[in-house]
Amino acid sequence: MEIYKDLTSPASKEFEKLLNSQLSKVQIEEGKIIEGTINKITEKFVFIFVEGLKSEPVLDINELKSMGLNDKIKVGETIPVLLEKIEDKHGDVLVSASKAQKIKGWDKLVEAYEKNEPIMGKITSKCKGGCIVEHIETGSLMFLPGSQISDKPLKDISHLMNEPQKFALIKLDKIRGNACVSRREIISSFKKEDKAKIVDKYKVGDIIKGAEVKGYSSFGCFFNVNGELDVLVHLQEISYSRVNHPDEVFNIGEKHDLKVISVDKEKLQVGCSVKQLSPDPFEHIENYELNKIYKVKVVKLMDFGAFCELEPGLTTLLHSSELSWTKKNVSAKKMFKVGDEIDCVITEIDKDKRRVAISHRLTQENPFDTFEKKYRFY
């Protein structure tokens, strides 16, 4: 073997120059992600070439398959790997493709979180308190709390399993490397956008036909409009007469026409009125006289009596104590049905309190007066 000691020769200087220029191009550092090119595949291992390393790193072929990189296991394909050690105690180069994927995945999650952008993922399994979501692009695993799965309670989520869908990143723990996502926020944001478009269609003064009574509250009644929007009719907008609770006037499932009286585009709320569809009957309440018989229409039956209409918009209570002279604890439900037209006498008109009191028994002769007249003992 011949040993060259003369490093001052032109050939030696040329070699040194080429070597230095080559090494300056390649920055090799432990803990960094580098690109490797597959140049050999065996039954168990994949050999990759990384420029600047003294030997070829080796990857377990099962590691790549578990990462879903079956299509990448080809000679000439490039794979990002994490350089863990340039040289271990055996003189080998240690790299990891799965760790590189996790780091890249975390970087993408941090970027999406900072930009407030949704990510694509799929629910892979259930766990205590929620589910595990896999980031489709990088394979990173994230936690989906049970309260963030949907905007309404779901008894079964099997239809959501392994389905690619959008999630919002709501929390990132950079120290522990944990990510928390929400499907509920995505659903709510879409619904908010859709609701804004729906609310834009309505203007003050519009008439809504056939809105369905959906539910009650102490302050009003909720109606569903064409299956796309819920609107509120405040207690004071139900009737010109005094109403203590919406169930005195409406039944669940009934359909009524409404008039739009307010549109709040910020809160995405539409306020409506039933009473404003007809003129205020108290403006001509002088047309009605006390102690005179009028035909009224039964519109609602209750345990304590019946609500009746003297005319559309003018509702009054026929209390159970004013149903009969002789029967005690009489039930209006047994005597009448909704839609019946019955005779009643107006016993009170209070314009300030907007209240009209009526009686059904006063349309009939008082049997006690008759008895007294017939059997006088003096």
Instruction: Give the CATH number, domain containing residue 155.
Output: 2.40.50.140
Q: What is the pLDDT of residue 248?
A: 79
Same domain as 67, residue 46: yes
Q: Are residues 107 and 160 in the same domain?
A: no
- Residue-wise burial string across 79-114, b where 16 or more C-beta atoms lie within 10 A, e elsewhere: bebbbeebeeeeeebbbbbbebbbbbbbeebeebbe
In a domain, 10, yes or no: no
Q: Which of 167, 189, 211 is the last residue of a domain?
A: 189
Phi and psi at residue 95, in whole multiples of 5°? -135, 160
pLDDT the model gives residue 22: 53
Please give the pLDDT value at position 46. Answer: 80
Q: Are residues 40 and 106 in the same domain?
A: yes
Whether 40 and 62 share a structural domain: yes
Strands 45-49 and 78-85: unpaired
Residues in the chain with pLDDT values less than 70: 1-7, 15-31, 67-68, 174-175, 177, 189-193, 242, 376-378
Residues 68, 101: Cα–Cα separation, whole Å? 11
Same domain, 108 and 122: no
Whether 285 and 361 share a structural domain:
yes
Residue 26 lies in a domain: no
- Please state the separation of Cα 220 from the chain's center in Å: 23
Sequence-separated (6 or more) residues with CB below 8 Å from residue 279: 313
Six-digit token pair at 153? 């309670």
Q: Which of 255, 277, 299 is the last residue before a domain boundary?
A: 277
Give the pLDDT of residue 359: 93
Task: With respect to residue 374, please indicate whether it lies within any of the assigned structural domains.
Answer: no
The answer to whether residues 158 and 229 belong to one domain is no
Q: What are phi and psi of 282, to 5 degrees?
A: -75, -10
Number of domains in the chain: 4
Q: What is the pLDDT of residue 376?
A: 67
**For position 24, what pLDDT does the model report?**
42
**pLDDT tens digits, 247-266:** 878 888 899 999 999 998 88
pLDDT of residue 350: 85
Q: Which residue, 73, 92, 113, sits at the end of a domain? A: 113
CA distances for 258 relative to 8, 254, 265, 277, 315, angstroms: 100, 13, 19, 7, 17
Burial label, 306 (beta-carbon count in 10 A; 0-12, 13-18, 19+): buried
At 310, list the tokens. 């003297």
Let me know whether 171 and 235 are in one domain: no
Together in a domain, 204 and 264: yes
Task: Return the amino acid letter for 121.
Answer: G
What's the pLDDT at 1?
43
Nearest-angstrom CA–CA distance, 269 and 255: 20
In a domain, residue 288? The reply is yes
In a domain, 79, yes or no: yes
pLDDT at 317: 86
Task: Tell whether 169 and 147 lie within a shared domain.
Answer: yes
pTM: 0.40
Does one domain contain both 171 and 230?
A: no
Q: Is residue 59 part of a domain?
A: yes
Same domain, yes or no: 285 and 362: yes
Structure tokens at 237: 């907008």
Range(s) of the domain holding residue 69: 31-113
- Are the beta carbons of 219 and 237 closer than 8 angstroms? no
Using alpha carbons, select from 97, 100, 99, 120 the residue that is nearest to residue 109: 120
Residue 234 belongs to some domain of the structure = yes
Residue that the structure tokens 């009643």 belong to = 344
Residue 80 tokens, joined = 């990002």
Element (H, E) at 26: none
Indicate whether 19 belongs to any domain: no
